Structure 1
Amino acid sequence: MRIIKRILKFIAILIGILLITMVIIIFVDNQSTNYLKVENNEFAKSNSYLITNVNVVPMNQDTILVNKMVYIKDGIIKNIADNIEVKDIKIIDAENKYLTPGLIDMHVHIWDKYELGLYLSNGVTSIRNLWGMPMHLRLKEDVNNDEIISPIFFTTSPKLTGPEFLGDDNLQLVNPSDAKEKVISYKKRGYDFIKTFYGLTEDIFDAIIEQAKISDMDIVAHPSQKVPYSYHFNPQIKSIEHAEDIIQQPLNYTLDTLKLKEVINDFAKSKHSSFSPTLTVYNNIYQMLIDDNILESERLQFMNPLIKKVDSKAEFERWSTAKLNDSSVVNAIKKQHDFHIKIIKKLHEIDVTFICGTDAGIGVTIPGFSIHQEFSFYKEAGLSNYEVLKTATVNASKTHSIMNEMGTIEIGKIANLLLIDDNPLLDLSVLQNPSTVFIKGRKLNRETLDNFEKQAKNRNNLIISALRYVEFLIVEK
């Protein structure tokens, strides 16, 4: 009996030590991201300004409004005019710079708060997280309560898959009633959208669509190979993800131009869904194949350490092994990327609505920085600078009704804005280092943005990231 009591006491002590350790880890992580708290940022405390001598790129039309004033009050654009008289307001002389809407990345994977600063530093003022976890609901609450400086944050539910698609990161649905219960639960818990993934059979997918409509939740679809690709052109599905899945599903892993024509025709018949190509994340497979030192590169220093240690390394080893076994894989991946560009060209010819998504946060696709690489691919596919910029502004904002208050510079819109040195309609690269970012009217200068990058570089939060993932497995699985 005494031995049992000693064992139980020992177990209790271990559990106590573990709990104390977890509390300390969480506390240290929270302290490390204090630089994002609104109360700790002097310039971000005010959200009312009068910007003068500024050239406005409104993005609701292909034009420049030259030498205007823009009045921001309580984070909202109140007026745009040649002359605005407002008393007791902070004035920002833009010195003939250009004011654009903040960028929106519609396909990201968030792992920690540090990444929020990386997005802002690169001009991304709104993000749509497409792999929902409990941590994201807390993060969303912090953002909505204006406790931290962050892009406006939206998140889907966890990924819903069919019964055959295994993996600890997926939720296998086995029947329609299970699917409906999940949608109802996600709505109640505060997820913004439903994320559908591989392996969903038609009966289960139909149940998701039916309940999503009842629950007033938009669906974001990573195409399921268990239904025809055209099945995803449904009014409840607001965006379809990934150019690569066009090749992997309706084209059956071939670069078949005749089959592609059929897919293009299906897109032409439907105007319900936007399309998020995520060209960067696939191109990064090619980058891994041609750069044996990519995991040690400077840009990978901005990746979450858990993802770098697990996902980035696994992806790199997978493709390195594939190259060792068959050197032709390098050219094959490059050809498929080039075919993705062709897909975008063909879809652009029929006026498909593109929304910019990067799939940042997985593999070697870096949060924030990757959006500018994505832009370059759209440009290569034949979009004008204005059309490219639309993918991450007005087009993105129209995808979901809860995002309609951003994406353009108009009276009544949220003041998510970038102040940049030159005209982005002539040179998109000027978007890479905005001199000032306004997030809900709060002003972040370049020095502050550079500090966000510095804080996120080589961060030491592997354990807390692992704990959050374990939480996801316990709560959602």
Structure 2
Amino acid sequence: MKLLKRILKFVFALIGVLVLIGIIIFWVDSLETSYLRINKNDLTSNNSFIIANVNIVPMNQDTVLVDKMVHIKEGIIEKIADNIEVKGIEIIDAKNKYLTPGLIDMHVHVWDRYELGLYLSNGVTAVRNLWGMPMHLRIKEDVIEDNIFSPVFFTTGPKLTGQEFIGDDNLNLTNPNEAKEKVISYKKRGYDLIKTYYGLDKEIFDAVIEQAKISEIDIVAHPSQKVPFSYHLNPQIKSIEHAEEIVQQPLQFDLDTTKLQPIIDSISQSKHTSYSPTITVFNNIYQMMINDSILDSESLEFINPLIKKVDSKNQFERWFNTKRANPAALDRIKNQHNFHISIVKKLHNSGVNIICGTDAGIGVTVPGFSIHREMSFYKQAGLSNYEVLKTATVNASKTHSIMKQLGTIEAGKIANLLLVDENPFIELATLENPTYVFVKGRKLNRETLKSYNEKAKNRKNLLASALRYLENLIFEK
């Protein structure tokens, strides 16, 4: 009995030490990202002002409103006119630059708060996180409470799969009742959306869809191979992810445009369905195959260290070794990427609501920076600059009712804005380096945005990231 008591004391003491170490690690990590905290007494917290001498790219129409004034009141666009007079308010001279809506990345995986700064520095003022964990609810709360500079933050719950084990990062559902309980729980806890994933069979999928409708929560679908592709056109499913899934599932890797067209037609006939192609993340397979030093590249200095050490490394080894074992695989991946461009073109020509998503945060797809590459692929697909910009602004905002205050510049919308040097309808690349980013009306200048990049570069938060992931495995399984 005495021995048992000693063992229990030791175990409890060890647990106490580990908990204390964890608290210290989280505290240090919190201090390292304190630069994102909003100081309500600082000038940058001012979210009421007038922007004068500005050319507006409203994105609710294909035009530029020349030499206008915009009144921002407490983070909301109050008025747009030729002349606005408000006493005792700051006036920002835009010097005939261009004001656009902030960009929206509709498919990201956020691993830490450093990434929030990376998105802002690249003009991304709203993100849809599609791999929900407890840490994302804490980020969301801080964003809602205006405690931190961050893109507006929407997140799904954990990825829902069926009984087949796909990985420890997914929630394996065993029966319809459990599926319904998870949907109810995620809505109650504050997750914005439901993410369905590869491996959901019809019976469980039906339960998820049924409960999501009752709970009034939208579904985002990574297509499941256990139901027909057309199954994902259910009205409760607001967007389908990845052009590659069209190739892998209904086309069975047959890159045939004739067989593709009926699939595109079915998507276009489903007026409620948006499509997020995520061209960049698949193209990065090709980049890993041709660049044996990609893990040491400068861009990967912005990847979360845990992801870089595990996921980036594993993906690189998988694809680089695939090419080594079968050199023909390189052309196969390149051809499939080109076919994805064709898919985007056909989706666009058929009137499908294309939304810009990057799958940033996994592999070698870098948060923030990748959205500009994604948009360049849409440009290659034949979309005009206006049409490309729509995918990352107004198209995205139409996908979910909870996003309706974003995406355009008009009275009543949230003042998530970019001030850029050139007309993006002529020079899309101007979006890569905004002079100012306004997030909920708060102004961030270029110097501050660059500092966000520097803070995130080669960050040392591997242990904190690992503990947050461990928290997810313990509490979400």
Range of TM-score over shorter length? over 0.9
Counterparts of 1:59-458 in structure 2, within 5 Å, are 59-458=59-458
Deviations 1:394-450, CA, capped at 9 Å, x for gaps: 010011001000100000100000000000000100000001000000000001000
Distance in 2 (CA, whole Å) between partners of 1:33 and 1:349 is 44
Distance in 2 (CA, whole Å) between partners of 1:78 and 1:24 is 44
Structure 1 residues 246 and 165: CA distance shift in structure 2, 3 A: farther
Shift of 1:6: 3.6
What code does the residue aligned with 1:323 have?
A: K
Shift of 1:16: 2.3
Distance in 1 (CA, whole Å) between partners of 2:168 and 2:243 is 25
Shift of 1:2: 4.6
Structure 1 residue runs without a partner (length 5+) = none
Alpha-carbon RMSD: 1.1
Distance in 2 (CA, whole Å) between partners of 1:476 and 1:116 is 23
SS in structure 1 at match of 2:67:
strand
- Counterpart contact for 1:161–1:172, Cα < 8 Å: yes
What code does the residue aligned with 1:34 have?
A: S
Q: Which moved more, 1:448-457 or 1:31-40?
A: 31-40
SS in structure 2 at match of 1:72:
strand
Distance in 1 (CA, whole Å) between partners of 2:13 and 2:156 is 39
Q: Which moved more, 1:237-246 or 1:254-263?
A: 254-263
Shift of 1:258: 2.6
Deviations 1:72-128, CA, capped at 9 Å, x for gaps: 010000011110001111110000000000000000000000000000000000000
Shift of 1:3: 4.0
- Counterpart contact for 1:165–1:198, Cα < 8 Å: no
Distance in 1 (CA, whole Å) between partners of 2:249 and 2:233 is 15
Distance in 1 (CA, whole Å) between partners of 2:33 and 2:446 is 18
- Counterpart contact for 1:43–1:444, Cα < 8 Å: no
SS in structure 2 at match of 1:67:
strand
Shift of 1:165: 3.8
What code does the residue aligned with 2:84 have?
A: I
What code does the residue aligned with 1:457 have?
A: K
- Counterpart contact for 1:121–1:450, Cα < 8 Å: yes
Shift of 1:155: 0.2
Q: Which moved more, 1:31-40 or 1:394-403?
A: 31-40
Shift of 1:296: 0.3
Distance in 2 (CA, whole Å) between partners of 1:218 and 1:268 is 19
Structure 1 residues 206 and 370: CA distance shift in structure 2, 3 A: same
SS in structure 2 at match of 1:39:
coil
What code does the residue aligned with 1:450 have?
A: K
Which residue number corresponds to residue 468 of structure 1? 468
What code does the residue aligned with 1:453 have?
A: N
Shift of 1:356: 0.3
What code does the residue aligned with 1:17 have?
A: V
Deviations 1:193-247, CA, capped at 9 Å, x for gaps: 0000011111211111111010000000000111111111111110010000000
What TM-score, normalized to structure 1? Answer: 0.98
Distance in 1 (CA, whole Å) between partners of 2:179 and 2:9 is 43
Distance in 2 (CA, whole Å) between partners of 1:401 and 1:266 is 23
- Counterpart contact for 1:357–1:371, Cα < 8 Å: yes
Shift of 1:8: 3.2
Shift of 1:172: 1.2
Distance in 1 (CA, whole Å) between partners of 2:43 and 2:99 is 18
Distance in 1 (CA, whole Å) between partners of 2:257 and 2:86 is 59
What code does the residue aligned with 2:361 have?
A: G
Count of aligned pairs between the two proteins: 477
Distance in 1 (CA, whole Å) between partners of 2:6 and 2:192 is 49
What TM-score, normalized to structure 2? Answer: 0.98
What code does the residue aligned with 1:54 have?
A: V
Shift of 1:178: 1.3
- Answering whether residue 40 of structure 2 is matched by residue 18 of structure 1, we say no
Structure 2 residue runs without a partner (length 5+) = none
What code does the residue aligned with 2:88 have?
A: D
Distance in 2 (CA, whole Å) between partners of 1:265 and 1:79 is 40
Structure 1 residues 114 and 41: CA distance shift in structure 2, 3 A: farther
- Counterpart contact for 1:35–1:41, Cα < 8 Å: no
Structure 1 residues 140 and 106: CA distance shift in structure 2, 3 A: same
Distance in 1 (CA, whole Å) between partners of 2:355 and 2:41 is 32
Percent identity over the alignment is: 69
Shift of 1:389: 0.2
What code does the residue aligned with 1:202 have?
A: K
Which residue number corresponds to residue 55 of structure 1? 55
Shift of 1:36: 0.2
What code does the residue aligned with 1:35 have?
A: Y
Shift of 1:41: 8.4
Distance in 2 (CA, whole Å) between partners of 1:227 and 1:105 is 28
Shift of 1:391: 0.3
What code does the residue aligned with 2:306 have?
A: L
SS in structure 2 at match of 1:359:
coil
SS in structure 2 at match of 1:11:
helix
What code does the residue aligned with 2:470 have?
A: V
Q: Which moved more, 1:235-244 or 1:263-272?
A: 263-272
Distance in 1 (CA, whole Å) between partners of 2:257 and 2:349 is 15
What code does the residue aligned with 2:288 have?
A: M
SS in structure 2 at match of 1:182:
helix
SS in structure 1 at match of 2:354:
coil
- Answering whether residue 9 of structure 2 is matched by residue 9 of structure 1, we say yes
